[in-house]
């Protein structure tokens, strides 16, 4: 059984669309106080992502023991894992799982997969990495 944990911010909701096509239990990381203007998202969330600042999201209860595999789907921000997915991974530790990491971006994702280092326990096995550029799988 898979848990699909996703965050999606833009109006297109690309990561959400990708996540919902995968079979399993879905969990959305929702910001507590979302910023709705793209310009301010770029400035505020771009800064928080690069400066490794904390963000707040709605409380989620996930029983990780129910799942063999966990799939993470989220947008690339500043070339790397975005602030909300990073915060979720800092707050939720899990062990001995298969993990798939999926990103969604416009084409710039140089640090995305390596930026998960240290956020996912070494006892987990990363089984797949996928990137969607403008909604199309690479
Ligand atoms: C703060 C911020 C930073 C972003 N940084 C990048 C980036 O470095 N590279 C890129 O290709 N796209 C970047 N984007 C665009 C998103 O990654 C892209 O539109 C993504 O597909 C949105 O997914 P979503 O619809 O699930 O939110 C950024 C968007 C925001 C809001």
Which residue in this structure is represented by tokens 């944990």? 5
The predicted-structure confidence for 66-121, as pLDDT tens digits, reads as follows: 999 999 999 999 999 999 999 999 999 999 999 999 999 999 999 999 999 999 99
Q: How far is the CA of 104 from the centre of ligand 1 (A)?
A: 7
Check: pTM over 0.95? Answer yes or no. yes
CA of 135 to the centre of ligand 1 (A): 11
- Residue 107: per-residue pLDDT: 97
Looking from the CA of residue 104, the nearest atom of ligand 1 is 21
47 C-alpha to ligand 1 centroid (Å): 13
Q: Which atom of ligand 1 is nearest to the CA of 132?
A: 21
Cα separation, 59 vs 61, in Å, equals 7
Cα separation, 8 vs 106, whole angstroms: 14
Confidence grade of residue 49 (pLDDT, cut at 50, 70, 90)? very high
Radius of gyration of the chain (CA): 14
């Amino acid at each position: 059984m898979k848990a699909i944990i996703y965050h999606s911010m833009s109006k297109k909701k690309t990561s959400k669309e990708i996540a919902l096509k995968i079979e399993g239990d879905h969990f959305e990381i929702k910001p507590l106080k979302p910023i709705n203007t793209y310009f301010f998202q770029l400035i505020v969330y771009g800064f928080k992502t690069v400066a490794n600042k904390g963000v707040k999201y709605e409380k989620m209860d996930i029983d990780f023991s129910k799942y063999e595999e966990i799939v993470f789907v989220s947008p690339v921000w500043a070339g790397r894992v975005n602030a909300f997915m990073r915060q979720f991974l800092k707050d939720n530790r899990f062990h001995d799982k298969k993990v798939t990491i999926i990103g969604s971006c416009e084409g710039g994702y140089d640090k995305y997969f390596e930026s998960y280092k240290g956020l996912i326990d070494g006892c987990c096995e990363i089984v797949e990495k996928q990137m969607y550029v403008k909604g199309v799988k690479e």
